[in-house]
Structure 1
Amino acid sequence: MRQEAYRGWLSALTQLILIAIACVAGYYLSREVDIIPKAILHLPAVHVSQADMWSLTRIFVATYALQIGLTLLLYRTGSFSNLKRFANEYLFYLFAYTSASLYSFLATTINYDPQLIAAIGLLSTLLYVMAMLVAMIKRGEAAFFPALAQVIGALLKRIASIPGVIAILYFLVPLAMGKAFTSDRDIANRITQIRIWFNPVETSEWGLKNLFPGTVFAQPVLVRQAPGDAQGLYVLERNGVVYRVDFPSGDNKQLALDISDQLGEVEVENGAVGLAFHPQFNQQKGKDYAYLYYTDTRPEEGQVNRLSRFDFSLTDPAQRKASEQVLLALPRTKDGFHNGGSVEFGPDGYLYIGLGEGVHPKRIKTSDVVLRSGILRLDVDMDTSRSIDPEPFEHGELNHYLVPKDNPFVGRDDIRNEYWALGLRNPFRFTFDPKNGDLWLGDVGSTIWEEVNLIEKGKHYQFPFIEGYEKSGNNAWEDLGLPEVGPVYTYQHSAYDRAVIGGMVYRGDNYPSLKGKYVFADNYSAKLFVMPADQPKVEEVKLIARANQYAQRGVSSVVQLDSGEILVTTLGAASEPSGEVLLLVKAEDADVFEEEPQDTTPKDYDEDTTAALYAVNCARCHGATGDGQGPDSGMLGVEMPDFTSPMFHFKRSAEDLHAVIEKGGVQMNMSPMMPPWGGFLKPQEIEHLVIYLQSLPDKHHHH
């Protein structure tokens, strides 16, 4: 009896080991092979981290441990003792597999990958069957092929029974839920609410409050307080407009600067993104300057990123505009991505600017000839006692600044002397710690990693060959031999968090529990986080608040005022002014909460009619489902976009899609194979096509 019990527990341990092997092997197999063929169901590539893989492994092993323990107590023998026992346990196996799948789908924040779940099911079944075959052969009951036939026969016979039919029906539940999740928004919302219920946001003593109730802005990217002006705030809108608003009342919204006609079409990540005031603003005559960083999309030959100075001692907005003095005019690639954005004066009085890796003419990338993918340090006061002239520059225009003599690369031929640090992908927001001068930066990542970096003079931050802590598979553009530094904190993309917005080290007295900590945000999820600012590497951060506008409407800046308040800007919609300036407050004073998504679909929109319009005009190239696999796609010579991919729509607004459909590829600096439909389709039809395209990820993808 003891020997039989020993065999039973040994059999149970063997099964759990096989389940763990199936989970790990299934993870790596599903990264390389489509377990569910595209011909049956076209599924996107879902990023599942190794940490999530181990979490799934624990879920499946724990679920099977419960199932195996129950069956062992029920049958008193090991699973592989005979065919009848084996077939009976397989039904329990199906229940356990389905339960683990449902739990991971409904009750966790793990990215749900149907290919991985299918791989776990396939491999665990194969390993389970192989273990039974080994047991039968070892006992001398049959050779391999006769044993295999007996095993398959026993399984089919058991599945054909009433318990077997029930097990199969239960097995189909997650498949049906997954299909409903992708095709019915109401069901998708219900499932999302279930996931939120299982994964509540941690409570915090802080929340957000609308600083200016009733006042909205057109995509505010930044809020600034000018030196010597404690009674006002300046709000920079993405369209190139700056307003001054009384603080804290929010009254007297006045136009301070308007260069919107110099930006061209504001799309993708373009527009006005950075603003800084001279440290002697309002304090020294001749220093009332504002510095603005923006993208001009008007030039026919391409786009240009400019850093310009405007004289705010002039009281009329038109005069201020006319006072523009261009410091940098940098041609960039036409896609509009990765401009960088921050413009900040350091404690040394020099102007620092963050440039993204997209700021360069096509195919011209190295640091000896272009300014991109790093932090520049400029002397805008042009003090010849401490600075020198910039080197000659062929790819753009440089004016009205000098280069500090103590910049780290002065005298090197392979790196322009304006650089302070290199190796950054998209340094959209950075600030200086007022206590010690440390430069903290949020580097917006690609498809997996986001980074918070502590920037040091003369260092390289590893883009493009390393993102986060992992090799990206891309080669460096050049061999500079610089000391390399990794991020202080990095996080992987989830369904919610995917675009870091750098903040600041808090040094005020308004929020005692945040003092000395780094406060930052994620644009897409609109979450506000804090982390220690005195550690070389941080593993975990704390969520303290969340705004009520997400994705492309989410957080665009996090700043601290001289009086100690922390302010957050949210972009709002691109189609109408709905951006806000928010104040971090005690939780009991908050008035900004998560809202249910509002349905903005026009009442005259008919999905069936629009689907038919798409099928007639678009499907031959873009595919019947929008996956880019149309019958003519292979003959076009360009890679077709996948409209069913959430990442495609994450990078493109409704306005972007509308412009491409209406104007065609040539006018939008894209493939000439995309014709302009503006003369063939009615404006209303183009608007409805955009709505239809944006709905495709919900129709064809699991979460």
Structure 2
Amino acid sequence: MDKKRNSPIEVLIQLFVIFLCTYIAYKFTQTHDIIPKSVIRLPDVYVSENDVWHLSIIFTTIFAIILIPSQLILGHGVFYKPQRFASEYLVYLCAYTTASLYVFFVTTINYHPQLIAAIGLFSTVAYILVFIGWYAVKETKKSKLSSLYLLPYSVLRKLFSIKGILVLIYFLSPLLLGKAFVSDRDTANLITQIRIWFNPAEDSGWGLKQIYTNIDLSQPMLVRQAPGDSENLYVLERNGRIIKLNYPESGQVDLVLDATTLLGEVEIENGALGFDFHPEFNQPDSQNTGFIYLYYTEYRGDTQVNKLSRFDISLPDIDARLHSETTILSLPRNPDGFHNGGSIEFGPDGLLYIGLGEGVHPKGASSYSETLRSGILRIDLDTNNTHSSYSPHEPFAHGIRQNYLIPKDNPFVGNPEVMDEYWAIGLRNPFRFTFDPETRKLWVGDVGSTVWEEVNIIEKGKHYQFPFIEGRHPTGKEKPEKLPAPEQAPFYTYEHTAYDRAVIGGTVYRGNKFPELFGKYIFADNYSAKIFLSDTDKEEVTEVKLIAQGSQFAQRGISSVVQLKNGDILVTLLGAASHPTGEILSLIKSDQKTIQQANHTTDDQAAESETSSEYDENLTRQLFSINCSRCHGREGRGDGPDAESLDVKLPDFTSEEFQSTRTDHEIRDIIEKGGAPLQKSPMMPPWGSFLKENEIDHLTIYTRNLGKTNKHHTH
């Protein structure tokens, strides 16, 4: 009997085929389906280039682990003859299936059934072609070459043997599990638990402790300490109130400013967004001793104006403080309510820095030469400082700008393409930023669109690439041949998941209380309420450490991360819009944790009782506006500001076609479970983990009523 010696070259060829086919399959499935939707409707799943690299390594490694021993045992390779190839193909199927299951259960890579199927198909075809080529080169006798017709017969015969049928059942298991994962919530939960077991989160050594458990807070946006005052904490609530609390404990709430009447309707991303004290606050001999600056939105009917105003809180009564408002900026804008920015901060130079989102502009006026938006401004509030600053040029057609000067050393002074107030441009929605007190670098959390979030270090006169690039990836929007400023890439980026989707800029820690945090950047994600830790001594980083997570998510999540004078790190959680469940949390070491589960449960139960099971259209409209309108639009027509970036057609909830083809159960199902389990777009996140049962019920009613409202308006 003609025996062939085992050749390591044959094994290496097989491993190279698997490695190459993994990447080819990835490229193919970005634009095509291996499994037609008419056969099995599988959701689109995002897999990054980095994940594909890991997939290639995983498949190649597992194939090596299985193929090499089989070659040694059998004594000859897969390219020996058709009958031998058939036996080895069963080994290949086992290796392929094992690799697929490893990816599915053990890794955190998004499981993409179309990609896994494509790897199997392409590697099988390549396997056969390589065998034919190798066989043709090695066997020159006509009788040997003519035996190639035995190849399909030999493979089918092996597959339909008892051993082959068992291998086929094993081979089909990843596809069946993938289908069950996206179709059945119980299966998805079980598999998720297995994944968590294989990928346990390390104990970070940190946790969060709630302070002011006896005080009701209505969506706290930001906390600050006034200059020269380390005994009190000032809290900005989204409705426009600023309250003062003793720190760290307080039995009394002092109302400092009540600007609620100035804001109008508070929904979507509107409200009181940021505030800061004048650097000379609390200095009795200064005319600025009582000045506080507030950035807020005034939203009434179909009109929205974003405002920066000064208030004098040294005045004796609340009404006088309110009427002391002095307008600095008043910027009319498209009233969709999104991308307002939010931070204002006095820098180490005593000048005020202002973060404006890309949505802050009226319709038809969006260039940097005609309006203020999508960047960081730098202004001088000392109107007597004419030796180093000057008055803004007039006219200004798109709003009011007054009671400030422009520093002569601003980077775009004299540039006709960019207004003089700008310090940096090309940002999407710089919601929170702070200065590193040691290096004076300005760290910004720039909220992204549908895929990427960014942390940026702002440098004078730089362009941060929006809207042409988000993260480090082109958006498809055309970039002008010449930009008015040099480009600057982000310091750190992360991709959206169902939960991580809105970065909250934080602080570079320079306190003495936690030496292990010194020099680290601490920031958060609003939706997931996760808190992260990053190195700061590099030009960019690709990994950060998760150190803690708040107990409220989505529209109730984190709104700020702040360092106090004594080195404490405080985090604000918004809580529900309908009732005061906001929280102020302190970052603590694990050995300092106090169990508050009983209190937290009690608070949740109280909140649940306050959130009546009876449908309230106004509260539910707020819920829809905050969580759903970014994609679906304020009126549910599928025209939200992020809709264009989703690469999927969104339904029009007001249309007869939608309302007549969806049951209440189907609408509720997709709100609770998200798109993927229902074979729809995975860009629709599952809200079951974030919203209460009655809130999902109310959103279902609200979505149904959008069709009735449209019908009423039509007739």
Match of 2:292? Answer: 290
Query: Distance in 2 between the 1:688 and 1:266 partners?
Result: 30
Give 1:227-242 correspondences, 5 Å limit.
Answer: 227-242=227-242
TM-superposition CA deviations, 1:3-52 (whole Å, max 9, x none): 93343x22211110000011111111111222233333444443322111
Match of 2:421? Answer: 418
Distance 1:542-1:37 versus aligned 2 partners, 3 A rule: same
Distance 1:427-1:667 versus aligned 2 partners, 3 A rule: closer
Distance 1:65-1:249 versus aligned 2 partners, 3 A rule: same
Give 1:147-158 correspondences, 5 Å limit.
Answer: 150-158=150-158
Q: Which amino acid aligns with 2:247?
A: F
Judge conservation of contact 2:111–2:178 (CA < 8 Å) in 1.
Answer: no
Match of 1:614? Answer: none
Match of 1:259? Answer: 259
Judge conservation of contact 1:47–1:111 (CA < 8 Å) in 2.
Answer: yes
Match of 1:531? Answer: 534
Match of 2:617? Answer: none
Shift of 1:688: 9.4
Judge conservation of contact 2:310–2:326 (CA < 8 Å) in 1.
Answer: yes
Shift of 1:206: 2.3
Structure 2 residue 444 is the aligned partner of structure 1 residue 441? yes
Distance 1:560-1:141 versus aligned 2 partners, 3 A rule: farther
Query: Distance in 2 between the 1:688 and 1:143 partners?
Result: 63
Structure 2 residue 677 is the aligned partner of structure 1 residue 699? yes
TM-superposition CA deviations, 1:315-341 (whole Å, max 9, x none): 443433333222222233343332221
Shift of 1:515: 1.2
Query: Distance in 2 between the 1:401 and 1:6 partners?
Result: 82
Query: Distance in 1 between the 2:304 and 2:188 partners?
Result: 40
Give 1:354-393 correspondences, 5 Å limit.
Answer: 354-385=355-386, 386-391=388-393, 392-393=395-396
Shift of 1:59: 0.8
Q: Which amino acid aligns with 1:525?
A: S
Match of 1:15? Answer: 14
Structure 2 residue 678 is the aligned partner of structure 1 residue 675? no
Secondary structure of the corresponding residue to residue 266 of structure 2: coil
* Greater displacement, 241-250 / 122-131: 241-250
Match of 2:200? Answer: 200
Query: Distance in 1 between the 2:173 and 2:530 partners?
Result: 33
* Greater displacement, 171-180 / 143-152: 143-152
TM-superposition CA deviations, 1:273-303 (whole Å, max 9, x none): 2111211222245421222222233242x43
Query: Distance in 2 between the 1:145 and 1:263 partners?
Result: 84
Query: Distance in 2 between the 1:666 and 1:148 partners?
Result: 58
Secondary structure of the corresponding residue to residue 464 of structure 2: coil
Shift of 1:348: 1.4
Distance 1:570-1:246 versus aligned 2 partners, 3 A rule: same
Distance 1:588-1:156 versus aligned 2 partners, 3 A rule: same
Query: Distance in 1 between the 2:372 and 2:37 partners?
Result: 43
Q: Which amino acid aligns with 1:291?
A: Y
TM-superposition CA deviations, 1:584-622 (whole Å, max 9, x none): 1111123489999x99999999xxxxxxxxxxxxxxxxx
Judge conservation of contact 2:433–2:442 (CA < 8 Å) in 1.
Answer: yes
Query: Distance in 1 between the 2:21 and 2:596 partners?
Result: 42
Distance 1:321-1:182 versus aligned 2 partners, 3 A rule: farther
Match of 1:175? Answer: 175
Judge conservation of contact 1:666–1:672 (CA < 8 Å) in 2.
Answer: no
Structure 2 residue 321 is the aligned partner of structure 1 residue 320? yes
Distance 1:18-1:254 versus aligned 2 partners, 3 A rule: same
TM-superposition CA deviations, 1:567-588 (whole Å, max 9, x none): 1112233444333111111111
Judge conservation of contact 1:359–1:371 (CA < 8 Å) in 2.
Answer: yes
Query: Distance in 2 between the 1:686 and 1:382 partners?
Result: 60
Query: Distance in 2 between the 1:290 and 1:280 partners?
Result: 10
Unpaired segments ≥5 residues, structure 2: 615-622, 644-649, 683-715
RMSD: 3.8
Judge conservation of contact 1:137–1:143 (CA < 8 Å) in 2.
Answer: no
Distance 1:90-1:239 versus aligned 2 partners, 3 A rule: farther
Shift of 1:381: 2.7
Q: Which amino acid aligns with 1:307?
A: L
Secondary structure of the corresponding residue to residue 153 of structure 1: helix
Judge conservation of contact 1:382–1:400 (CA < 8 Å) in 2.
Answer: yes
Match of 1:463? Answer: 466
Secondary structure of the corresponding residue to residue 342 of structure 2: strand
Shift of 1:387: 2.0
Shift of 1:147: 7.2
Query: Distance in 1 between the 2:652 and 2:632 partners?
Result: 17
Judge conservation of contact 1:414–1:480 (CA < 8 Å) in 2.
Answer: no
Query: Distance in 2 between the 1:320 and 1:477 partners?
Result: 47
Match of 2:82? Answer: 83
Judge conservation of contact 1:499–1:523 (CA < 8 Å) in 2.
Answer: yes
* Greater displacement, 495-504 / 413-422: 495-504
Query: Distance in 2 between the 1:67 and 1:551 partners?
Result: 45
Distance 1:43-1:77 versus aligned 2 partners, 3 A rule: same
* Greater displacement, 92-101 / 420-429: 92-101
Structure 2 residue 51 is the aligned partner of structure 1 residue 52? yes
Query: Distance in 1 between the 2:269 and 2:142 partners?
Result: 67
Shift of 1:125: 1.3
TM-superposition CA deviations, 1:383-434 (whole Å, max 9, x none): 2423211122111221222212221222222211110111112211111111
Match of 2:119? Answer: 120
Query: Distance in 2 between the 1:299 and 1:67 partners?
Result: 67
Judge conservation of contact 2:629–2:640 (CA < 8 Å) in 1.
Answer: no
Shift of 1:564: 1.2
Question: What's the TM-score, normalizing by structure 2?
Answer: 0.82
Shift of 1:144: 13
* Greater displacement, 40-49 / 10-19: 40-49
Q: Which amino acid aligns with 1:390?
A: P
Query: Distance in 2 between the 1:419 and 1:135 partners?
Result: 66
Query: Distance in 2 between the 1:267 and 1:604 partners?
Result: 21
Query: Distance in 1 between the 2:625 and 2:123 partners?
Result: 38
Query: Distance in 1 between the 2:538 and 2:463 partners?
Result: 20
Judge conservation of contact 1:654–1:690 (CA < 8 Å) in 2.
Answer: no
Q: Which amino acid aligns with 1:675?
A: T
Structure 2 residue 627 is the aligned partner of structure 1 residue 653? yes
Query: Distance in 1 between the 2:37 and 2:317 partners?
Result: 61
TM-superposition CA deviations, 1:142-174 (whole Å, max 9, x none): 899987764333322222222222222223323
Judge conservation of contact 1:366–1:477 (CA < 8 Å) in 2.
Answer: no
Judge conservation of contact 1:264–1:297 (CA < 8 Å) in 2.
Answer: yes
Q: Which amino acid aligns with 2:532?
A: F
Distance 1:142-1:21 versus aligned 2 partners, 3 A rule: farther
* Greater displacement, 327-336 / 138-147: 138-147
Shift of 1:496: 5.0
Distance 1:152-1:553 versus aligned 2 partners, 3 A rule: farther
Question: What's the TM-score, normalizing by structure 1?
Answer: 0.83
Alignment partner of 1:402 out of 402, 405, 424: 405
Structure 2 residue 4 is the aligned partner of structure 1 residue 4? yes
Q: Which amino acid aligns with 2:359?
A: G
Structure 2 residue 216 is the aligned partner of structure 1 residue 219? no
Query: Distance in 2 between the 1:183 and 1:563 partners?
Result: 51
Judge conservation of contact 1:365–1:477 (CA < 8 Å) in 2.
Answer: no
Distance 1:672-1:533 versus aligned 2 partners, 3 A rule: closer
Secondary structure of the corresponding residue to residue 102 of structure 1: helix
Shift of 1:502: 1.3
Instruction: Give identity over the alignment, percent.
Output: 50
Distance 1:147-1:241 versus aligned 2 partners, 3 A rule: farther
Distance 1:160-1:518 versus aligned 2 partners, 3 A rule: same
Secondary structure of the corresponding residue to residue 452 of structure 1: strand
Alignment partner of 2:523 out of 500, 520, 525: 520
Judge conservation of contact 1:548–1:593 (CA < 8 Å) in 2.
Answer: no
Secondary structure of the corresponding residue to residue 221 of structure 1: strand
Query: Distance in 1 between the 2:397 and 2:36 partners?
Result: 51
Match of 1:489? Answer: 492
Judge conservation of contact 2:101–2:174 (CA < 8 Å) in 1.
Answer: yes
